[in-house]
């Protein structure tokens, strides 16, 4: 029999194409043998080519979903994804500040791989001012780190500077991802307020990279729920992403930026 799993919560948007958002998060939680719960912030009509419609959910209904989960389950860690609007960011930040979410991984989703806006312009400031102070970790990609810090990310040194700035802004730790920088390796920089760690993996040449950011933050969240330290959680999550990208590199799902593979053989090597 499988022992009772740890519980993680994702507060994010739905991707009808199943590549990113809530769908990627729940599949990733399951891969790490963590029970996944969810609060949906927005419904997107989306596929590998684009986003054709977005409906945001009333903050009261988002809060009700969160409280339904936290009133009944022991949530060990939470991640946020697409938060869409400033009022949603502010409501989620208030829930986080009240202490019911456990360690919070903030993936500051702003634009989809296919170029659609997933966070209103006026919500960026709410992420910076209200949400970052509750984050155990914030995981921006290049463009998100630039918007949040004002630092142009053109090098590893700039990634380090941005990670340090994000910690100054209130996050306990920052992972500035390098998937959108050039070079033979995909290099992410983790700063936990004391140490800088460089995570490096060979770049996989593929068009199937839709959902990698969601998957990375969900995998970190799952590992935190299982009791791993932050550096170990990030290391395990990065390995999961690299393996999945390679596994699905030649897939032909959809005609655009295809979904990431969660079917790589072998279980994630997580020991709590
Ligand atoms: N082609 C690649 N090969 C290997 N690793 C990659 C590749 N692209 C991205 N990564 C890794 O995947 C993770 C997500 O990084 P990225 O910078 O792409 O974030 P993102 O833009 O939020 O993701 P998404 O592609 O879902 O929008 C990081 O660990 C990054 O280093
Ligand atoms: C609902 C939702 N959440 C997040 C993303 C970002 O993922 P990606 O950058 O891979 O498109 C997305 N496209 N849709």
**Stretch 8-12: mean pLDDT, rounded?**
99
Residue 2 lies in a domain: no
The domain in which residue 74 lies consists of 7-247
Residue 166 lies in a domain: yes
**Closest ligand 1 atom, CA of 237?**
29
**Closest ligand 1 atom, CA of 139?**
22
pLDDT grade for 267, boundaries at 50, 70 and 90? low
Confidence check: pLDDT of 259 > 70: yes
Cα dihedral 208, 263, 186, 150, rounded to 10, equals: 70
pLDDT grade for 272, boundaries at 50, 70 and 90? very low
Question: Can you tell me the distance from the alpha carbon of 223 to that of 198, in angstroms, rounded to the nearest whole number?
Answer: 19
Chain segment 33-63, per-residue pLDDT in tens: 999 999 999 999 999 999 999 999 999 999 9
Residue 190 lies in a domain: yes
In the numeric block, the tokens 């799993």 are attached to 5
Residue 270 lies in a domain: no
Question: Can you tell me the distance from the alpha carbon of 83 to that of 76, in angstroms, rounded to the nearest whole number?
Answer: 21
In this prediction, does ipTM exceed 0.95? yes
Q: Which helix (H) or strand (E) holds 200?
A: strand 196-202
Integer-rounded Cα radius of gyration of the chain: 17
Specify the pLDDT at position 130.
Answer: 98
> How much distance in Å is there from the Cα of 35 to the middle of ligand 1?
25
Partners of residue 46 on adjacent β-strands = 51
Cβ 164 under 6 angstroms from ligand 2? no
Q: Which CATH number goes with the domain that contains 12?
A: 3.40.1190.20
Residue 252 lies in a domain: no
Number of domains in the chain: 1
Cβ 215 under 6 angstroms from ligand 1? no
Cβ 236 under 6 angstroms from ligand 1? no
Residue 261 lies in a domain: no
Residue 48 lies in a domain: yes
Query: Which of 175, 147, 171 has the alpha carbon at shortest distance from 159?
Result: 175
**Stretch 178-199: mean pLDDT, rounded?**
96
Specify the pLDDT at position 270.
Answer: 56
Chain segment 68-82, per-residue pLDDT in tens: 999 999 999 999 999
């Amino acid at each position: 029999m499988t022992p009772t799993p740890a519980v993680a919560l994702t507060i994010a948007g739905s991707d009808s194409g199943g590549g990113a958002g809530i769908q990627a998060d729940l599949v990733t939680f399951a891969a790490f043998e963590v029970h996944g719960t969810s609060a949906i912030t927005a419904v997107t009509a989306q596929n590998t080519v684009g986003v054709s419609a977005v409906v945001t959910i009333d903050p009261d209904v988002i809060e009700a979903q969160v409280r339904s989960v936290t009133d009944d389950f022991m949530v060990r860690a939470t991640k946020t994804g697409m938060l869409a609007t400033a009022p949603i960011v502010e409501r989620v930040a208030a829930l986080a500040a009240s202490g019911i979410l456990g360690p919070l991984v903030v993936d500051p989703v702003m634009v989809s791989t296919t170029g659609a806006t997933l966070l209103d312009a006026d919500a960026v400031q709410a992420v910076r001012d209200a949400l970052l102070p509750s984050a155990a970790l914030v995981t921006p990609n290049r463009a998100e780190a630039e918007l949040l810090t004002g630092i142009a990310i053109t090098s590893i040194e700039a990634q380090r500077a941005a990670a340090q700035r994000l910690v100054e802004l209130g996050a306990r730790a920052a992972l500035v991802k390098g998937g959108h920088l050039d070079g033979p390796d995909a290099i992410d920089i983790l700063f936990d307020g004391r140490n800088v760690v460089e995570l490096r993996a060979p770049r996989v040449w593929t068009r199937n990279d839709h959902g990698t950011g969601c998957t990375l933050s969900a995998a970190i969240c799952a590992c935190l729920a299982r009791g791993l330290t932050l550096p170990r959680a990030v290391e395990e999550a990065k390995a999961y992403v690299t393996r999945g990208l390679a596994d699905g590199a030649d897939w032909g799902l959809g005609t655009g930026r295809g979904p990431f593979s969660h079917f790589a053989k072998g279980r994630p090597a997580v020991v709590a």
